Structure 1
Amino acid sequence: MKTPFPFSAIVGQDEMKQAMVLTAIDPGIGGVLVFGDRGTGKSTAVRALAALLPPIEAVTDCPVNSADPADCPEWAAIIDRSITTRPTPVVDLPLGATEDRVTGALDIERALTRGEKAFEPGLLARANRGYLYIDEVNLLEDHIVDLLLDVAQSGENVVEREGLSIRHPARFVLVGSGNPEEGELRPQLLDRFGLSVEVTSPRDIETRIEVIRRRDAYERTPESFLAEWQPRDAELRARILAARAALPDVRASNVALHDCAALCIALGSDGLRGELTLLRTARALAAFDNAPEVTRDHLRAAAPSALRHRLRRDPLDEAGSTARVTRQLAEILP
């Protein structure tokens, strides 16, 4: 299997890379929605993230990546309860996937050959404690969307059919990518993404040349290219681990809370999820910067990705959501 393109070697697309790094620091931020043109590195960034993320500790035989043998589901019939390290799961959910493949179902082979009623885990089991990636997420079938909404809300996958009654943890960061020209995302699923970023093709020649140069080097001489960029990925991985450790101690003053609320009121965002996500994202960014407290700079940097997909449509305002957030940032957080 070919080693993914190094995360640090991706040219530009800083907001997309920042969003993915912040969800690695604090998965509680929620998922990342990446919308933009074809060929702008959306899928490349997700594959690169898999190689960048620190490994997790999990029970050797556990199909849901439990960190403790006591957390392994009974139906798994664990034999080897030793703890091992494995790469952070990054699981693809293809558009044509059936519900059985996503949630898991009766193991037909064991039922026919042994007469045993056993559960075969699905993609949600494999993605627990990791990332679930959906390319062309705006084209996902409605019944799969409904299923993902239920699991994202509860953090648990429940299968009740074919005589099975199965439950297992399914906590993952949802990463979706797509082209807005091919269809909009259902509002219910859109709201489940913590961050939303927009990517576009670079407009200046020098940037495009650098993209071509790096991709060409990766294709022609992958060993030397990876050797060149692996130290930078290792440095970024170390910063993520340090930020994870520092995150619980990062403070958010009443001024920061006031700024979050004032900005969301000015933008007319629905509910309180905007404020909570903005604060959580800014805190992760402060931890990444090794800062003891959330500042307005952190809020300004986090606001576009945390809020642009939560705005109500205003027929009297022709500006896009990013422009509206930027405009209110200039007024509320000058």
Structure 2
Amino acid sequence: MRHVFPFSAIVGQEAMKRAMILTAIDPTIGGVLVFGDRGTGKSTAVRALAALLPPIDVIAGCPVNSDQAEDVPEWVQNAGTETHAVPTPVVDLPLGVSQDRVTGALDIERALTRGEKAFEPGLLAQANRGYLYIDEVNLLEDHIVDLLLDVAQSGENVVERDGLSIRHPARFVLVGSGNPEEGDLRPQLLDRFGLSVEVTSPTNMAERVEVIRRRDAFDRDPAGFTNDWHTADAIVRDRIVKARETIASYDVGDDVLETCARLCIALGSDGLRGELTLLRAARALAAFEGASEVAHHHVTVVAPIALSHRLRRDPLDDAGSSSRVERVLADVMA
């Protein structure tokens, strides 16, 4: 059995962990972009969170992870009617991947051997109801970026070529990571990420030592280390599950909505996606904390990760995006 490093055992990186938890509670927030140094736990965190989440029910033989027989696409053959539990999918989208591999294409083997025109699902089908992880997302080819933009907007993958006309659901949490020194992300894709986190290597000696200690303990005894952190991970999982069940009951007062709007206006955020993301993230945080209502405190906590990547660049301001958000937030909340 392959063990995954426990989510609760990740040292520090609180903003990154919080962002991933919030998107696990409410996928409509729009995914997470994690930019920063190599070796800071970016890929570890997404795999750890997926392993922590409860399994999903899927119809046997359904390549798009449908949980109800009526949701199985018409082109799927030999799908059953019973469901079975599988781990939450985490699909890697590698650099240089072809469009056919992403969207799916004609099954060449069946076409040549049987003379049948059949569809071979791609990575988007595998990622449905799970996570699509892109390392070095800023180096992704433009035509793949355009494709992902279309699917992220519609929640559906459409393939119209090679004599095929295929549609299937493609709803997933998009997680992208990269190093800003290797290039910027296209603005169109940047805006599609709900939350953005900047991660750095820890500078605190005690924290660095603890990272090394835990990673070494996991490498030497994965099963034992995972078992040691089982209870802590179970607590986080139970809070996520409860938040998913209760989040729809959280109404947001006009005063909180006005705070979201004032903050986005003060920052010069384009469009209204910033306010909507801020609202959804604050509501998810309130549900995760088990709060009685969505309060200004929740907006304050999530504002840096919800808005920092939506700011226009200011060449006269040397402060980072998160610092600019926090500075404006202090003025708005004063």
**Could you tell me the TM-score, scaled by structure 1's length?**
0.98
Partner letter of residue 119 of structure 2? F
**Aligned equivalents of 1:78 and 1:316: distance in 2?**
61
Paired residues of 1:56 and 1:85 also in contact (CA < 8 A): yes
Partner letter of residue 149 of structure 2? L
1:177-203 C-alpha deviation (Å, 9 max, x unpaired): 000000000000000000000100111
**Aligned equivalents of 1:156 and 1:221: distance in 2?**
41
Query: Unpaired runs of 5+ in structure 2?
Result: none
**Aligned alpha-carbon RMSD (Å):** 0.9
**Aligned equivalents of 1:280 and 1:110: distance in 2?**
45
Structure 1 pair 79/41, CA: closer, same or farther in 2 (3 Å)? closer
Partner letter of residue 154 of structure 2? S
Match of 1:138 in 2: 138
Match of 2:147 in 1: 147
**Aligned equivalents of 1:93 and 1:49: distance in 2?**
18
Paired residues of 1:72 and 1:78 also in contact (CA < 8 A): no
Q: Which segment drifts farther, 47-56 or 181-190?
A: 47-56
Partner letter of residue 314 of structure 1? D
Partner letter of residue 168 of structure 1? H
**Aligned equivalents of 1:261 and 1:90: distance in 2?**
34
**Aligned equivalents of 2:276 and 2:205: distance in 1?**
39
Paired residues of 1:124 and 1:157 also in contact (CA < 8 A): yes
Partner letter of residue 223 of structure 2? E
**Aligned equivalents of 1:39 and 1:110: distance in 2?**
42
Match of 1:298 in 2: 298
Match of 1:285 in 2: 285
Match of 2:249 in 1: 249
Match of 2:2 in 1: 2
Residue aligned with 1:196, SS: strand
**Aligned equivalents of 2:322 and 2:305: distance in 1?**
9
4+ aligned runs moved over 3 Å, structure 1: none
Match of 1:129 in 2: 129
**Aligned equivalents of 1:256 and 1:286: distance in 2?**
13
**Aligned equivalents of 2:24 and 2:82: distance in 1?**
26
Residue aligned with 2:225, SS: helix
What are the within-5 Å matches in structure 2 for residues 56-71 of structure 1?
A: 56-71=56-71
What are the within-5 Å matches in structure 2 for residues 2-41 of structure 1?
A: 2-41=2-41
Q: Which segment drifts farther, 77-86 or 270-279?
A: 77-86
Match of 2:320 in 1: 320
1:187-228 C-alpha deviation (Å, 9 max, x unpaired): 000000000001001111000000000001001122221110
Residue aligned with 1:116, SS: coil
Match of 2:195 in 1: 195
Match of 2:270 in 1: 270
Paired residues of 2:34 and 2:178 also in contact (CA < 8 A): yes
Match of 1:89 in 2: 89
Percent identity for Structure 1 against Structure 2: 72
**Aligned equivalents of 2:17 and 2:78: distance in 1?**
37
Paired residues of 1:278 and 1:303 also in contact (CA < 8 A): yes
The size of the alignment, in residue pairs, is 334
Paired residues of 1:52 and 1:234 also in contact (CA < 8 A): yes
Paired residues of 1:251 and 1:292 also in contact (CA < 8 A): no
Please state if 1:109 is matched with 2:109.
Answer: yes
**Aligned equivalents of 2:231 and 2:320: distance in 1?**
39
Residue aligned with 2:214, SS: helix
Q: Which segment drifts farther, 314-323 or 217-226?
A: 314-323
**Aligned equivalents of 2:313 and 2:216: distance in 1?**
42
**Aligned equivalents of 2:79 and 2:305: distance in 1?**
44
**Aligned equivalents of 2:316 and 2:78: distance in 1?**
60
Q: Which segment drifts farther, 58-67 or 11-20?
A: 58-67
Partner letter of residue 232 of structure 1? A
Query: Unpaired runs of 5+ in structure 1?
Result: none
**Aligned equivalents of 1:281 and 1:159: distance in 2?**
32
Match of 2:54 in 1: 54
Partner letter of residue 282 of structure 1? A
How far residue 96 of structure 1 moved from its aligned partner, in angstroms, is: 1.8
How far residue 316 of structure 1 moved from its aligned partner, in angstroms, is: 2.9
**Aligned equivalents of 1:131 and 1:9: distance in 2?**
21
Paired residues of 1:61 and 1:81 also in contact (CA < 8 A): no
Partner letter of residue 49 of structure 1? L
Residue aligned with 1:39, SS: coil
Please state if 1:209 is matched with 2:209.
Answer: yes
Match of 2:157 in 1: 157
**Aligned equivalents of 1:22 and 1:91: distance in 2?**
19
**Could you tell me the TM-score, scaled by structure 2's length?**
0.98
